[in-house]
Structure 1
Amino acid sequence: MTTTTRIRHSGTALAHAASATTWRKSLSLRPADAVFVPAMKVGIAASAVLVVGGLTGQQHLVGLATLGALVSAFGRYQPYGRLARQLAVVAASLLIATCAGALMGSAGVELWMQIALLSLIAGVASHIFHAFKITGPGAVILVFAASAGAGTAHSFTDIGPVLLAVFIGAAVGWLIALAPVLFFPMGPARLATARAIGAVLRWGEIGQSTIQETELRQAALLAVGTAHDSVAISASSPVPGKKRATALAHRAHALKALLAEASIVLLNEPQTAARLDGLARHEAALRKVRGRPTATALPEAPPAPARPRMFPTARIALLSKDSFSQALRMAAASALAGWAAVVLGLEHPLWASMGAVAAMQGLNYSITVQRSIQRLVGNVLGAVLALVLLSMPLGFWPAVVIVIVFVVLAELLVMTNYTLTTIVVTPMALIMTGLGTQLAPTAAFARVGDTLVGVVIGVLVAALSISISDRHHLVARRELHGQGEFHGLP
Structure 2
Amino acid sequence: MHGLPRYAPDNSRLDHCRTALKHSVTPATWRRAFEVRTVDATIAPAIRVGVATALVLVLGGLLGHGNLAGLGALGALTSAFGRYEPYPRLARKAGFVGIALIAYVAAGALLGAAGWAVWWQIALTSVAAGVAAWLLTAFRIVGPGPVILIFAATAAVGYARDLADVGPAVGAVAGGVAVGWLAVMTPYLFVPLGPARLAVARALTAVSELGRAGEDGALVSARRAVDHAWDVMAHNGRSRDAHSRQLLALLADAEAVVERWASDRDSATLRALVEHESELRKVKRRSHLPGIECRDGDLPARDRFLPDGIRRLRSRDAALNAARIAVAALLAGCFCVAVGLEHPLWASMGAMAAMQGVTFSQTVQRGIQRLSGNVAGAVLAAALIATALGYWQTVVVIVVLQTVTELVVIKSYAFASVVITPMALLLTGLGSAVTPDIAVSRVIDTAVGVVIGVIVSAAAISRKDHHHVA
TM-score (normalizing by structure 2): 0.95
Equivalent residue number for residue 4 of structure 2:
none
Matching of residue 302 in structure 1 with residue 309 in structure 2? no
Equivalent residue number for residue 484 of structure 1:
none
Equivalent in 233, 238, 251 of residue 259 of structure 1 = 251
Cα displacement string for residues 364-398 of structure 1 (whole angstroms, at most 9, x for unaligned residues): 11111000000000000000111111111211111
**Structure-2 change in CA distance of 1:437 and 1:187 (3 Å):** same
Equivalent residue number for residue 398 of structure 1:
393
Q: Distance in 2 between matches of 1:203 and 1:298?
A: 24
- Report the CA distance between 1:3 and its aligned residue: 4.2
Contact 1:200/1:262 (<8 A) preserved = yes
Equivalent residue number for residue 172 of structure 1:
179
Deviates more, 1:403-412 or 1:390-399: 390-399
4+ long deviations beyond 4 Å: 298-301
Equivalent in 10, 20, 28 of residue 21 of structure 1 = 28
Equivalent in 123, 146, 164 of residue 139 of structure 1 = 146
Q: Distance in 2 between matches of 1:163 and 1:250?
A: 44
Aligned residues: 460
SS of 2:468's partner is helix
**Structure-2 change in CA distance of 1:264 and 1:365 (3 Å):** same
Deviates more, 1:16-25 or 1:214-223: 214-223
**Structure-2 change in CA distance of 1:436 and 1:316 (3 Å):** closer
Q: Which amino acid aligns with 1:262?
A: A
SS of 1:356's partner is helix
Q: Distance in 1 between matches of 2:222 and 2:292?
A: 23
Equivalent residue number for residue 62 of structure 1:
69
Matching of residue 226 in structure 1 with residue 228 in structure 2? yes
SS of 2:210's partner is helix
Unaligned runs of 5+ in 2: 1-7
Q: Distance in 2 between matches of 1:69 and 1:271?
A: 48
- Report the CA distance between 1:2 and its aligned residue: 6.9
Contact 1:186/1:235 (<8 A) preserved = no
Equivalent residue number for residue 47 of structure 1:
54
Equivalent residue number for residue 271 of structure 1:
265
- Report the CA distance between 1:225 and its aligned residue: 1.7
Contact 1:235/1:252 (<8 A) preserved = no
Pairing 1:234-249 to 2, within 5 Å after superposition: 234-236=236-238, 249=241
SS of 2:354's partner is helix
Matching of residue 287 in structure 1 with residue 285 in structure 2? no
Q: Distance in 2 between matches of 1:442 and 1:101?
A: 25
Q: Which amino acid aligns with 1:77?
A: Y
SS of 1:271's partner is coil
Equivalent residue number for residue 242 of structure 1:
none
Contact 1:68/1:166 (<8 A) preserved = yes
Q: Distance in 2 between matches of 1:130 and 1:220?
A: 25
- Report the CA distance between 1:463 and its aligned residue: 0.6
Task: Give the RMSD, CA atoms, in angstroms.
Answer: 1.6
- Report the CA distance between 1:301 and its aligned residue: 4.4
Matching of residue 325 in structure 1 with residue 320 in structure 2? yes
Equivalent in 120, 128, 131 of residue 121 of structure 1 = 128
Q: Distance in 2 between matches of 1:295 and 1:276?
A: 15
Q: Distance in 2 between matches of 1:230 and 1:28?
A: 29
Equivalent in 203, 214, 218 of residue 216 of structure 1 = 218
Equivalent residue number for residue 487 of structure 1:
none
Equivalent in 460, 463, 471 of residue 458 of structure 2 = 463
Equivalent residue number for residue 482 of structure 1:
none
Equivalent in 150, 154, 164 of residue 157 of structure 1 = 164
Q: Distance in 2 between matches of 1:216 and 1:316?
A: 33
Q: Distance in 2 between matches of 1:417 and 1:203?
A: 27
SS of 1:29's partner is coil
Q: Which amino acid aligns with 1:426?
A: T
Equivalent residue number for residue 89 of structure 1:
96
% identical aligned pairs: 48
